[in-house]
Structure 1
């Protein structure tokens, strides 16, 4: 008969509260932004968007406190998590989730409150710090400590690098609205960060394409991650337009004649190219999930939130292109994508709540080998 005492529910939740939970913040945050910027507004929609924004802030603060408790009371878990080849990839979800709060603050709150811009600036600084941790420290562990094989590759390999694209795009939006003194520094950092993210992400996407050719579709447990390439491509499209717009305002003709207009024009053309690239991966992701569903049931896990944020940022890119071109086609397409996202968000949220109530969703792979034993 075992003398081991059953673990308290709260302790179990804290120990098994993985970074992937912040993907909930990402999905909810991008939906609030899309509802706020929906091209065909109707009465009450901005209010719904604001409610989602407030809910997202509450969730973010709650998740941050639980995460802090996890590593404060069980500090050994942090190193275990970093050495785990799956969970460490989700570190960047923290900054991406916070970025959605930052962007909504820029779009809405700064227009109503004087302190909104300083809040947005502070939030963006935090996202930059976490973003660089994700894209530099996590790859170090991938190279030195993890064991990866091409056959086991899936879209989650992109997660450490997507935050650089997201943060760069957010910096473009911020620099287009903040005072010129801070805007120039933000814009330069954002261009550098965006460049780092896009080239690293497209490198991973190329490897992913090779994996699909050689080893066919990923397993059913991670097939939803097929949507992740839409993240850097869609947010890259949105970000290049924001950076170009900010560049036109900040650069102008101050440093090089025509630099501002060039930044704006090249940013828009780059957005079109990235958006077109994303269309192909959207088609691949859709038929990958449909084919897997036909032959087998896809088990629910936190990875299902990979459906929401990538589609959300791709929709944001679609609407941004539509705004530049004043194109009804892109606006209608963006509206359709937004409606699809609402349905997906409701479905995934319901499954997440159900999993949280039953406790089945609180599972940390990094703790499985040691069965939560505290090291000596």
Structure 2
């Protein structure tokens, strides 16, 4: 019997030696183990990279709104904003190129991974950070004004639609293609819920801080944002309950995934910030008074609405603090066991905690509280340090060829290992 008739092909080089740098895909074609830098960059580029945009964006927002300002802080905020913008444009181009070049293979790789599928919610969240910062920074600059108010307004409606589409697509795909009972569901599954809460808090920023936005434009955003924050709170609580039960049943996640526990904080912090921002927009910024229709969209209804929003935000912030303490404890325990080491998942720390400190920033204003101001300032400094730590490790890994551009193709390596086992 010939070798061809058995369906088994040895990978050999031209001089008859075993070929350890290529994998046979079954039709005589051999895939190279090492790729070009461009192919490695595009083929492996995942939605996790958009967390860098999210983190830069939330730090830009926090430094801009920090209760303790100094002359250089505005410049730092603008630098974070520009960094966020440049990263978003670059990463979006690479991510789109992945689907343009690899098409169905790229799509199947994304949807076959629960983590990558859920992380697709990071793309619209990254866009939402720019949607907040564009009217906040640009429309209030002397060269920006109303044009950037309209730009931010249009961006918000695009982001709201985008986030809802991703939310439904992610959960429908999870239901159709994955069985949660057979594997441990990743913490990232909460991210689509965080995205709709981010739509809400961004809506509050757009209607509160944009230059001369009218009540006629602002009120529809406020109404839709309240609906979004309801969706974010309830869906976030449902998913948090499931994932917390998973922790009780299975224990802590693997050491490499410990930082992902901070994702628990996201829906609570973002929803608390959204409620405060929307309540303030209705009352303090006079959007309901300017609209003045019906029984709800009036100045009389705005005051109790604002108080109710602050009350619910306090409750959500309390739960967010509990989740953050639980996550910090898990990190400390992991470090105590000498199992803690840096990996790209550490980016999960900054944005969720940033949402919590956005909420405390607003409490500092509504309560005129020195305690909330100190907590917020301390939190911003801590998150900035974590961002710099993540950046230094990431750049080191990139230079070492362990991140972003990994020339050795993991797909081909897996095929070669399977071939070796089959012999």
- TM-score w.r.t. the length of structure 1 is 0.93
Tell me by how many angstroms 1:262 deviates.
Answer: 2.4
* Secondary structure at 1:86 match in 2: helix
User: How far, CA to CA, are the matches of 1:198 and 1:219 in structure 2?
Assistant: 27
Which deviates further from its counterpart, 37-46 or 284-293? 37-46
Alignment of 1:1-376 (within 5 A): 1=19, 2=22, 4-5=31-32, 6-76=34-104, 77-112=106-141, 113-114=144-145, 115-149=147-181, 152-176=184-208, 177=210, 178-248=213-283, 249-252=286-289, 254-256=293-295, 258-362=300-404
Tell me by how many angstroms 1:372 deviates.
Answer: 9.9
User: How far, CA to CA, are the matches of 1:9 and 1:277 in structure 2?
Assistant: 45
User: How far, CA to CA, are the matches of 1:210 and 1:363 in structure 2?
Assistant: 37
User: How far, CA to CA, are the matches of 2:83 and 2:372 in structure 1?
Assistant: 29
Superposition RMSD on alpha carbons, in Å? 2.1
Tell me by how many angstroms 1:368 deviates.
Answer: 5.6
Tell me by how many angstroms 1:43 deviates.
Answer: 2.3
Which deviates further from its counterpart, 84-93 or 257-266? 257-266
User: How far, CA to CA, are the matches of 1:72 and 1:47 in structure 2?
Assistant: 37
Deviation track 1:296-322 (CA, whole Å, cap 9, x = no partner) reads: 333433221111101111111111111
Tell me by how many angstroms 1:10 deviates.
Answer: 0.9
User: How far, CA to CA, are the matches of 2:412 and 2:174 in structure 1?
Assistant: 21
Residues 133 and 298 of structure 1: CA distance in aligned 2, closer, same or farther (over 3 Å): farther
Residues 255 and 150 of structure 1: CA distance in aligned 2, closer, same or farther (over 3 Å): farther
Tell me by how many angstroms 1:64 deviates.
Answer: 0.7
Contact 1:20–1:90 (Cα < 8 Å) also in 2: yes
Which deviates further from its counterpart, 191-200 or 16-25? 191-200
Tell me by how many angstroms 1:275 deviates.
Answer: 0.7
* Secondary structure at 1:148 match in 2: coil
Contact 1:15–1:70 (Cα < 8 Å) also in 2: yes
List runs of 5+ in structure 1 lacking aligned partners: none
User: How far, CA to CA, are the matches of 2:232 and 2:413 in structure 1?
Assistant: 36
User: How far, CA to CA, are the matches of 1:318 and 1:231 in structure 2?
Assistant: 14
Contact 1:154–1:226 (Cα < 8 Å) also in 2: no
Deviation track 1:341-376 (CA, whole Å, cap 9, x = no partner) reads: 111010011112222223322389xx9667799xxx
List runs of 5+ in structure 2 lacking aligned partners: 1-18, 23-29, 416-423
User: How far, CA to CA, are the matches of 1:34 and 1:353 in structure 2?
Assistant: 24
Contact 2:398–2:405 (Cα < 8 Å) also in 1: no
Greater than 3 Å deviation, 4+ residue runs = 2-6, 367-373
Tell me by how many angstroms 1:67 deviates.
Answer: 0.8
User: How far, CA to CA, are the matches of 1:360 and 1:123 in structure 2?
Assistant: 36
Identify the structure with the greater helix proportion.
1
User: How far, CA to CA, are the matches of 1:160 and 1:369 in structure 2?
Assistant: 28
Tell me by how many angstroms 1:328 deviates.
Answer: 0.4
Tell me by how many angstroms 1:174 deviates.
Answer: 1.3
* Secondary structure at 2:45 match in 1: coil
Contact 1:168–1:190 (Cα < 8 Å) also in 2: yes
Contact 1:304–1:348 (Cα < 8 Å) also in 2: yes
User: How far, CA to CA, are the matches of 2:275 and 2:412 in structure 1?
Assistant: 45
Tell me by how many angstroms 1:153 deviates.
Answer: 3.3
Contact 1:151–1:215 (Cα < 8 Å) also in 2: no
Contact 1:81–1:87 (Cα < 8 Å) also in 2: yes
Tell me by how many angstroms 1:168 deviates.
Answer: 1.0
User: How far, CA to CA, are the matches of 2:206 and 2:181 in structure 1?
Assistant: 39
Which deviates further from its counterpart, 142-151 or 305-314? 142-151
User: How far, CA to CA, are the matches of 1:294 and 1:372 in structure 2?
Assistant: 34
Structure (1 or 2) with the larger CA radius of gyration: 2
Deviation track 1:115-152 (CA, whole Å, cap 9, x = no partner) reads: 21122123212321221122111001111102324872
- TM-score w.r.t. the length of structure 2 is 0.83
Number of residue equivalences = 371
